Structure 1
């Protein structure tokens, strides 16, 4: 990886290979919301490159995220197609992913695609996380008409990270990306 040994071809440094591998890993599309890249979601935590391997560490949006296997396969496939032979994708659950990690570009893509954007993620102190059996109230507006007159239809939409709402003004349903 660090040297080609071919006359006329430039030598690739570990730093360059790491930066290239990170760009490639972050360019992978989220399997559940393919309008977003893993960079948009802030899921890629680290990329390490040695002379013979690359290790990508990701943090899923949920610890039980059903898309994690697909993300792992897509990252591996993308990196291998670009010359990285030995690829490993590790999962790190600490710190837990937060919807605050969604980039401004990711938020723009969500908004332009008709999603209701997450507000600030709840702040957690130290100690156990309190168990609540009710839906935390959200202040959000309809992405179609801008009305604040909305109602939750289901706390779980097509994916665990989305809730389904309906606007009481324009009557259109919409997905809300949850604050996590």
Structure 2
């Protein structure tokens, strides 16, 4: 029988290795949405996730993947909670996650926009004007579509190597 900290570590290892359904080269830990793993007094593993945005359709798959993986690690009772505050930002993607995105031909996001307290101003222009090509490294790229296979990505084309690629947008 594990001591509480060993059990928590084992449960966290199981949860953090679940792949994101939309970006399968990233784990939930790489993406930075795995917020916390706790063991309740009754032995229930409580996993907290923050979605990349409040309407993220992949959350159901993520919850199911986490629950299945943690149960397989020997924890019969699992509760997956959604935590919305603070909201997720692309700054939470780990350096390993950023490398994996680039290795798979997706330009990682730059720094997320910073907002002071108060209302968030609506910006109608792209937040980043220069995105380097993940294939050849050229900064001479152009956006061809603001949306790609998922709403968190844009389609771009490199003017250097002429290859199309996706860019994970800054949030």
Q: Shorter chain as normaliser: what TM range?
A: over 0.9
- 1:158 to partner: Cα distance: 0.8
Q: Which residue of 2 aligns with 1:47?
A: 37
Q: Which residue of 1 aligns with 2:57?
A: 66
Q: Cα RMSD over matched residues?
A: 1.2
Q: Which residue of 2 aligns with 1:83?
A: 74
Does structure 1 retain, via aligned residues, the 8 Å contact 2:10–2:73? no
* Pairing of 1:87-98 with structure 2 (within 5 A): 87-98=78-89
- 1:136 to partner: Cα distance: 2.6
Q: Which residue of 2 aligns with 1:103?
A: 94
1:124 pairs with 2:124: no
Q: Any runs of at least 4 consecutive aligned residues in structure 1 with deviations exceeding 4 A, and if so which?
A: none
5+ residue gaps, structure 2, are none
5+ residue gaps, structure 1, are 1-10
Q: Which residue of 2 aligns with 1:146?
A: 137
Q: Which residue of 1 aligns with 2:15?
A: 25
- 1:177 to partner: Cα distance: 1.1
- Partner of 1:16, secondary structure, is helix
Does structure 1 retain, via aligned residues, the 8 Å contact 2:127–2:170? no
Q: Which residue of 2 aligns with 1:35?
A: 25
> Cα deviation per residue 1:138-179 (whole Å; 9 max; x = unaligned)?
311112222222111111111122111011222211001111
- Partner of 2:67, secondary structure, is helix
- The count of residues paired between Structure 1 and Structure 2 equals 170
Give the Cα–Cα distance (whole angstroms) in 1 for the partners of residues 137 and 19 of structure 2: 28
- 1:59 to partner: Cα distance: 0.5
Does structure 1 retain, via aligned residues, the 8 Å contact 2:130–2:140? no
2:103 to 92, 100, 112: 112
Does structure 1 retain, via aligned residues, the 8 Å contact 2:131–2:141? yes
Q: With structure 1 as the length reference, what TM-score do the two structures score?
A: 0.89
- 1:137 to partner: Cα distance: 3.6
Give the Cα–Cα distance (whole angstroms) in 1 for the partners of residues 149 and 22 of structure 2: 9
